[in-house]
Amino acid sequence: MLVVEIAERLLARHWRLAVAESATGGLVGHWITRVPGSSAYFWGGVIAYSNEVKLRLLGVRQESLDRAGAVSHQVALEMARGACRATGAEVALSVTGVAGPTGATAYKPLGLYYIGLATPQECWSWRHDFRGNREENNENAARAALSHLLDYLG
């Protein structure tokens, strides 16, 4: 199981994980905390559904929101960095996206997600395009975020 492998790798490194979630509304954190003993490596997270929370709690820049929008590579990076900084965790994941069924634009279709991963030294983001309903899109995004983390942890 994905979260069990992540748990083992975080514990082996003595690392703590944080999350910053928008579209998924805490689903990544929920899946992580389903593993007994997750308090040893899961530090917590921020459900930043509104841009105001992204700005205030995660340190996302207003300029990034204005130029790229909340569902963007830049905001995913800033959310992940902000989660690392706010919690002191060694690694953080972020998820921002258009879950549907509303919220799409000509440039940002339903199912578009950006996932960020940050350490205090580095960060990355990935674009994903899912084609399910709201629940399926969020589950696919959470699974993708955890898969990126597992890949990073080796």
Query: What domain range is 126 assigned to?
Result: 2-153
Q: State the pairing for strand pair 42-47/17-21.
A: parallel
Beta-ladder partners of 42: 17
Distant-in-sequence, close-in-space partners of 143: CB < 8 Å, separation ≥ 6 = 2
pLDDT tens-digit readout, 46-63: 999 999 999 999 999 999
Give the integer Cα–Cα distance in Å for 135 and 27.
Answer: 10
Per-residue pLDDT of 62-102, as tens digits, reads 999 999 999 999 999 999 999 999 999 999 999 999 999 99
Do 9 and 2 meet the contact criterion of CB atoms below 8 Å apart? no
Say what the pLDDT of residue 78 is. Answer: 98
pLDDT at 17 over 90: yes
Cβ proximity of 28 and 116 under 8 Å: no
Task: Give the C-alpha separation, 78 to 61, whole Å.
Answer: 8
Is pLDDT at 44 greater than 90 in this prediction?
A: yes
Omega before 109 within 30 of 0, i.e. cis:
no
Please report which helix (H) or strand (E) contains residue 46, including its range: strand 42-47
In this predicted structure, what is the pLDDT of residue 79?
98
* Mean of all residue pLDDT scores within the chain: 97
CB contact at 8 A, 128 and 115 = yes
Residue tagged 């960060």 (tokens):
123
Question: At 145, which helix (H) or strand (E)?
Answer: helix 134-153
CATH at 33: 3.90.950.20
Note the pTM of the prediction, 2 decimals.
Answer: 0.97
What per-residue confidence (pLDDT) applies to 106? 86
pLDDT digits (tens, 9 = 90+) for 103-137: 989 899 999 999 999 999 999 999 999 999 999 99
Please report which confidence band the pLDDT of residue 1 belongs to, taking 50, 70 and 90 as the band edges. confident
Q: Is 51 exposed, middle or buried (0-12, 13-18, 19+ CB in 10 A)?
A: middle
Look at the chain and report how many structural domains it folds into. Answer: 1
